[in-house]
Amino acid sequence: MKKFINLYTILGCSFLVLFIILMLLLNVDKAVIAESGQEVGLSHINNLVSYSYKDNIDTMTDLLMYVTFTVVVFEACLGLYQLITRKSLFKVDIEIIIFGIALVLMVALWLLFDYVIKINVRPTHKVEGSFPSTHVLITTFLALASHGFICFAYENKIAKYGSLLLAISMIALVLFGRVASGMHYITDVTGGLFLGLAFYFCTFGIIKVFKAKEE
């Protein structure tokens, strides 16, 4: 059992707990603070900024999120290549399989919060589920996953810290951009960040366990 406990999995579980606590707190201090006319929890925190829809910032955050999809395309192509050449799913690199499972779970959670559990609706624009922010969740997980895969492939410090700086910059731009665009409340992007970090640390914590066993 101890083999499955490392710093990454501890951090992943910690961020998951923070996400659950935030989700529960959204039933506290509920009030209408935006043009949607819907009540939102932790209204005093969410009311720290004003919300108005800005199409250009919304589009920018869309593009930044789409850029992170490149890691999905790359790992999917690599996994397909390994499957064809090695002629067995069990011979595909374990990190690709675990990453794929994490993506499936993330999509399932997105569908759950968008269509089943609607905790918040958008402050402006469309009346649809907004907690947690899908843009922040996806960008956080995929940007950091790109950094993680680069660290596996290249051991030099330039690749390690350069990819980490790029990942953090993209996450920050999307996080602040989703609030500035009027598409999400502060608690929406915070929830997306916590959940994205939970996915990243849990996924790569498990990957590190299996890679250590291979070595």
Phi, psi of 129 (to 5 degrees): -55, 140
Q: CA 132 to CA 117: how far, in whole Å?
A: 11
Q: Is residue 143 within a helix (H) or strand (E), and if so which, with residue range?
A: helix 134-153
Task: Tell me the pLDDT of the chain (215 aa) as tens digits.
Answer: 455 568 888 999 999 999 999 999 888 988 888 776 788 888 888 888 888 889 999 999 999 999 999 999 999 999 899 888 988 888 888 889 999 999 999 999 988 888 888 888 888 766 777 899 999 999 999 999 999 998 887 888 888 889 999 999 999 999 999 999 988 999 999 999 999 999 999 999 998 888 776 65
Q: Residue 39: which H helix or E strand, with range?
A: strand 39-40
Instruction: Give the SS3 label for residue 95.
Output: helix
- Is there a contact between 24 and 191 (Cβ–Cβ < 8 Å)? no
pLDDT at 8: 87
* Domain limits, the chain: 2-210
Specify the 3-state DSSP secondary structure of 120. coil
Q: Is the separation of the CB atoms in 148 and 12 below 8 Å?
A: no
